[in-house]
Amino acid sequence: MQEKLISIIKQSPQILETLQLCADLKLPDYYLAGGAITQTIWKHLLDRPLLDQVKDLDAIYFAAETKNKQLDQEQTLNRYSSHNYPIDLKNQTLVHQWYENKFGLTVDPYQRVEQGIDTWLPAFAVGIRKIDQDYQLYAPFGLDD
């Protein structure tokens, strides 16, 4: 199933470009994850354009940095991107600082990037990253339907 998902992802030049931009920026422990990945799979199964109705591409990473550094890196990704999908970048070390205001629950500081994906709805809890010429997936709930 993992190989099939990666082959679907490779059909989206926008996702491939975003993965390469994240790698080039050397975002530590990054993943492109969430809705764009899930939507790409669903659209492939429905034989529709892969990013049809996708609003943005969610990228996450894990680094001891400030919110300002995160915003700078997000602006850099969007500036160098040639596609029209905004890249929404979130540093998972900062989630505990804003999570309660957004969702009404407190969370302890994450110790690794995957902890963020672990909290997402199962259908959206899929992340992919590019390491050299290989792709690595993280799907805590698996890839089966």
The H or E element containing residue 60 is strand 57-61
Q: What is the pLDDT of residue 105?
A: 87
The model's pTM:
0.92
Average pLDDT (49-60) is 95
For 26: left if phi > 0, alpha if psi spans -120 to 50, otherwise beta; the answer is: left
DSSP labels for 93-112? GGHHHHHHHHHS---PPPSS
3-class DSSP state of 114 = helix
Q: What is the pLDDT of residue 44?
A: 95
Q: What is the pLDDT of residue 66?
A: 84
Using pLDDT thresholds of 50, 70 and 90, give the confidence band for residue 94.
very high
Task: Tell me the C-alpha distance between 143 and 140, whole Å.
Answer: 9
pLDDT, tens only, 26-35: 999 999 998 9
Q: Which amino acid is at 131?
A: I
Q: What is the pLDDT of residue 145?
A: 67
Q: Cα-atom radius of gyration of the chain, to the nearest Å?
A: 15
Percent of the chain with pLDDT over 70: 99
Using pLDDT thresholds of 50, 70 and 90, give the confidence band for residue 67.
confident
pLDDT, tens only, 106-136: 989 999 999 999 999 998 999 999 999 999 9
Paired with 57 in beta bridges are: 87
Q: What is the pLDDT of residue 1?
A: 85
